[in-house]
Structure 1
Amino acid sequence: MTREQKDNLFVLVKSLSKSEKRQFKLYVGRLGVNEDSKFLTLFNILDKLSVYDETVILKKGIVKKQQLSNLKAHLYKQILISLRLNPSHQNIRIQIREQLDFATILYHKGLYKQSLKILDKAKNLAIAHEEKNVAYEIVELEKVIESQYITRSISNRADELTIQAKELSLQNVLASKLSNLSLQLYGIFLKTGYVKNDKEHQVITKYFNNRLPKYDINKLGFREKLWLYKSYLWYSFLTVDFLSCYKYASKWVDLFYDNKDMIVLNPVFFLRGNHYLLEALFYLRQYEKFKDTLTKLEEVTKKKWFPLDDNNEGLAFLYVYNNKFNLHFIEGSFKEGLPLIDELLRQLQHYKDRIDEHHIMVFYYKIASMYFGAGDTKKCIVFLDKIISNKSLQMREDLLCFSRILNLVAHYEAGLDYNLDVLIKSTYKFLIKMEDLYEVQKEIIRFLRGLGDIYPHEVKGAFIKLHKKLKAFEDDPYQKRPFLYLDIISWLESKINNQPIAQVIRNKFLENQGKK
């Protein structure tokens, strides 16, 4: 990681748009401080730096080394206050919080009726926008004010607030249990990956059922349904049930399209829901639905009403381009997809500070796969090397595994056999260190281990033998996952039938379309 990304203040300053920088300086001016104020001077220095360098700041003489951390903390806080005042950041959630703050101030000043009036409006706004946690806070403050018998409210007011508090509390508890379950399942997925046998399937199913709270779907609001669908989605991913993934990802996305105000309020969840829907459709090879979903997502993110702040813009780019590559992989249109690579690399430069390095490595794998499919194995190797040689990042084991296997296959295809033995040994050593290997990976290891002993005239026979073994796993729900990373079967068929791999995949795609 580069040094400037480690300094939070520098990253924050560099993330500001021109209008946000202008507003910050206007905000400082409204504070009435001297133009030569130290924190404003520090802001201007950081704005001009291309890389964070503490020695440059200290040479300016605005502050001593011992005082720099305090000055940076003060500047950081002032920037955040300025951003909070920016109209572009004034979403419903912030507006409700602001009204609650105003009502609290009025309450402490003894202006109880004014406070209750603001609280009532804020509460209705919060409930309408599914902000039930803050709605509960508002009701609790209303109860505090009413309990003092100062307002002489109508007699049923206490019962009304008590019932409302109870309902909101129950909804918040249910949402919390569902969100906890969703997060726990996601954590298991990151730690152990997909289930690999019936025993693991039973363990996950028991874990899920034991923690799934009782609910009545007809009584659930938007927020509770969202967490429910997310929980089922992660359970489906863990158990390699892609049809169920599609079902719950569809419910998740439809929930947003049926409540379009929620897209504006929760754009990250909307984007992620679409990404998981596209992922499920990719695994199921549902081409038409995949294409329609991707087109619709791209169109929505370009609408004027869609909130494209720095975070949302980065996520939209990540998900749209990820799936543009997947569309070419489904079609087998690798050469047609090559212009997408230059486009992606340009965009990565623009978004490099908003996308983590792991996702950049995933893009490199997709670029390598595109080049491999298009027959440009040397460029494929260049991008795989960027992944394999990256020692500073803890990447997913499966990404590293298939990067190495594809790298070996690409070297074989390119005729770069002068160091193939060394490459086979290093790949083999890496793979045997992996825990819980799929049977597919084990067969590939055995094949690689024996590759050096095969005579040229025996190679085709070896390919046919490996193809037969791997074909047996293609429809196995617990073993088919590796084929989604690397279409090793199509590559073997291309070698056996002496056809380009792109043609093999394209023929399968056209045949699949003809059956529909």
Structure 2
Amino acid sequence: MSKKQHLFLLIKSLSKAEKRYFKLFVAHQKGGDAKNNNYLRLFEAIDQQTVYDEQAIKQKFAGQAFIKQLHVTKNYLNQLILKSLRNFHTKLSKEAELRDLLRDVEILFHKELYDQCRHVLDKAHQLATTYEKLPVLVEINDWKRRLCLATSLSINTQKPLDALIQENKVVVQKLNHLNHYWDWSIHLITRLSKASEASLFLQNEWFSDAQKADTIQAKKLYHHSLMAYYVMIEKDYEKAIEIVDQLVEILEAQPDHIVEDLSAYLTLLNNKVGLLLDKKAYDLIPEVLHKIRDAPAKYQIKELTAKNLKVQLHTYNVELEMYRDAHLHSQGIGLIPTIEAFLKQHEPRVPKDYLLSFYYQFAYLYFKNHQCHEALKWLNKILNVRWETAREDLETYARFLNLIIHFELGNILVLKYAVESCRRFLKKRKQTTQPFEKKILGFFAKICVHPPAEYPGFFVQLKQELFTAHTPQERSRHLDYLDFEAWIDEKCSKHR
């Protein structure tokens, strides 16, 4: 990604509240109203763009002094935004609160306001202990030691200093345990892929004894590793779900930790959804999905982070896929208005990959429900936009679905142009055109120039070319997001 886009992406990541705060923040900055106004004007101009266009920015502000050194102005604007975000998010996390408290400690210590310094240290210590911020706790104890030496006679320091040393030993031991679990988590797949290590996994000292997982973070890593083991090695999804439920219970007993790290809780529930999908336990999934969606309100999270927003979006994607796979197309369509409202609420923070996925899912559900005109409405939202995402696969499937729908509607003239448009897209994309894609294009090209009486023979031929003598893996690649086989079978059966 070009460095020139960094400011654009930062601005586009801001919520409405953050943008409003930034404008007030700049208005109160020293340095002259005209200069600050230039930053606001540049901010607004970039914010109005959907795709970053630096040439358009230069043309818009042609003749302005600041545009002559646009890179300098952009860099300073970037720093201003980050500075305003630091102020806006002073209580973004307990980690951020602790950093602010430690800055206060340092200031008070150097001013020799030791009583106030001790009071702030006690507050920081309680916060760090409650939320298990172990590295910060070591730093807090270092300040306690400095304060003790600065305010006590040497004869009186031994006992409190010994207590600090003992506390730090406990903290360091917990950090050591946590480090071992991180080591296992990071290298888990590599180690479990070796039969010698996988066979001894449950006898390993870090997983045979849960007592070593002595912090909330260590418990998360411990349970995630066990879950992965039972999925990858034992193929025991029931046991994996049991382990997930154990960790859910641990976290729900510590709601403060959920508030501090909501994404870990949501990801855990998301893992459970994945396991239930693998088991095709569709009836148990909606309850977990709603638990994920209700979590921000339950734990009084006012604004979702980008990561948590993606988890929420993922729940809707999963639910649509569940209805698609279970052939409950009407129920999937019934969910669309709710998803539309959610997308509108969080616009423009919704990543393009998710928008593309939703539009395709909507179109496909309408198609499967024999509502082709509604399906076309959503497909056109895909086909008429340059997405510039990593989901070329969905863009490809959207074009093939577009061909099918125009065939279903009898739009043969439109179909002819759609085939050529699809061919151009396949040539331009990064991935090489696959043999099965060429066969599908060839099929629709023949449809465009032959009478309907010949269609049945073309369908039989297409089915043989796409699916006869293919392995299950090859067939699954053809059917990933668009069930060509079911559609072809339907057409063949109508003409028998």
TM-score with structure 1 setting the length: 0.68
Conserved 8 A contact 1:431-1:445:
no
Amino acid at match of 1:152: T
Q: 1:385 to 1:65 in 2, by over 3 A?
A: closer
Residue 130 of structure 1, CA deviation: 3.1
Match of 2:15 in 1: 15
Residue 101 of structure 1, CA deviation: 2.0
Q: 1:105 to 1:335 in 2, by over 3 A?
A: same
Match of 1:275 in 2: 270
Match of 1:189 in 2: none
Q: Specify the SS of the correspondent of 2:320.
A: helix
Q: 1:134 to 1:405 in 2, by over 3 A?
A: farther
Match of 1:195 in 2: none
- Structure 1 unaligned blocks of 5 or more: 186-201, 436-440, 500-516
Residue 366 of structure 1, CA deviation: 1.0
Q: Specify the SS of the correspondent of 1:332.
A: coil
Matched, 1:167 2:161: no
Conserved 8 A contact 1:39-1:74:
no
Instruction: Give me the whole-angstrom Cα distance separating, in 1, the residues matched to 2:489 and 2:267.
Output: 35
Instruction: Give me the whole-angstrom Cα distance separating, in 1, the residues matched to 2:483 and 2:469.
Output: 11
Instruction: Give me the whole-angstrom Cα distance separating, in 2, the residues matched to 1:487 and 1:22.
Output: 49
Matched, 1:293 2:288: yes
Instruction: Give me the whole-angstrom Cα distance separating, in 2, the residues matched to 1:242 and 1:446.
Output: 41
Instruction: Give me the whole-angstrom Cα distance separating, in 2, the residues matched to 1:462 and 1:315.
Output: 43
Which deviates the most, 249-258 or 414-423? 414-423
Matched, 1:152 2:148: no
Q: Specify the SS of the correspondent of 2:257.
A: helix
Instruction: Give me the whole-angstrom Cα distance separating, in 2, the residues matched to 1:325 and 1:172.
Output: 38
Q: 1:342 to 1:429 in 2, by over 3 A?
A: same
Residue deviations 1:351-394 (CA, integer Å, cap 9, x gap)? 34312222222122212211221223455456456657866625
Match of 2:98 in 1: 96
Residue 170 of structure 1, CA deviation: 0.4
Which deviates the most, 487-496 or 352-361? 487-496
Question: Equivalent residues in 2 for 1:301-312 (5 A)?
Answer: 301-303=296-298, 305-309=300-304, 311=306
Q: 1:38 to 1:425 in 2, by over 3 A?
A: closer
Instruction: Give me the whole-angstrom Cα distance separating, in 2, the residues matched to 1:312 and 1:497.
Output: 47
Q: Specify the SS of the correspondent of 2:348.
A: coil
Instruction: Give me the whole-angstrom Cα distance separating, in 1, the residues matched to 2:186 and 2:405.
Output: 43
Conserved 8 A contact 1:271-1:319:
no
Amino acid at match of 1:217: A
Residue deviations 1:420-462 (CA, integer Å, cap 9, x gap)? 9869988998999669xxxxx98x6697599589964546766
- Structure 2 unaligned blocks of 5 or more: 50-56, 448-453
Which deviates the most, 279-288 or 342-351? 342-351
Residue deviations 1:77-115 (CA, integer Å, cap 9, x gap)? 455444444478454222122122222334444566764
Conserved 8 A contact 2:352-2:389:
no
Match of 1:45 in 2: 41
Residue 285 of structure 1, CA deviation: 2.6
Q: 1:68 to 1:403 in 2, by over 3 A?
A: closer
Residue 319 of structure 1, CA deviation: 2.9
Amino acid at match of 2:7: D
Which deviates the most, 272-281 or 93-102? 272-281
Residue 289 of structure 1, CA deviation: 1.0
Match of 1:357 in 2: 352
Q: 1:246 to 1:470 in 2, by over 3 A?
A: farther
Question: Equivalent residues in 2 for 1:172-321 (5 A)?
Answer: 172-178=178-184, 180-181=186-187, 205-206=193-194, 215=206, 216-220=209-213, 221-230=215-224, 243=237, 250=245, 253-303=248-298, 305-309=300-304, 311=306, 314-315=309-310, 317-321=312-316
Greater relative CO, 1 or 2 (CA 8 Å, sep 6+): 1
Conserved 8 A contact 2:91-2:97:
no
Count residues in correspondence: 466
Instruction: Give me the whole-angstrom Cα distance separating, in 2, the residues matched to 1:208 and 1:140.
Output: 44
Match of 2:54 in 1: none
Q: 1:73 to 1:394 in 2, by over 3 A?
A: closer
Instruction: Give me the whole-angstrom Cα distance separating, in 2, the residues matched to 1:46 and 1:141.
Output: 44
Residue 337 of structure 1, CA deviation: 3.8
Which deviates the most, 454-463 or 253-262? 454-463
Q: 1:227 to 1:368 in 2, by over 3 A?
A: farther
Instruction: Give me the whole-angstrom Cα distance separating, in 2, the residues matched to 1:203 and 1:390.
Output: 44
Amino acid at match of 2:358: F
Give the share of equivalent positions with the same residue, in percent. Answer: 19
Conserved 8 A contact 1:99-1:122:
yes
Conserved 8 A contact 1:384-1:403:
yes
Instruction: Give me the whole-angstrom Cα distance separating, in 2, the residues matched to 1:170 and 1:321.
Output: 39
Amino acid at match of 1:51: Q
Residue deviations 1:119-156 (CA, integer Å, cap 9, x gap)? 45423322321323323433455566668886714063
Question: Equivalent residues in 2 for 1:412-427 (5 A)?
Answer: 412-415=407-410, 419=416
Which deviates the most, 78-87 or 414-423? 414-423
TM-score with structure 2 setting the length: 0.70
Q: 1:252 to 1:389 in 2, by over 3 A?
A: farther
Which deviates the most, 264-273 or 133-142? 133-142
Instruction: Give me the whole-angstrom Cα distance separating, in 1, the residues matched to 2:420 and 2:236.
Output: 38
Conserved 8 A contact 1:464-1:496:
no
Residue 267 of structure 1, CA deviation: 2.0
Q: Which one of 121, 124, 127 corresponds to residue 122 of structure 1?
A: 124
Question: Equivalent residues in 2 for 1:480-499 (5 A)?
Answer: 485-488=481-484, 490-491=486-487, 494-495=490-491
Amino acid at match of 2:24: K
Root-mean-square deviation (CA), in Å? Answer: 5.2
Residue 330 of structure 1, CA deviation: 4.7
Conserved 8 A contact 1:4-1:10:
no
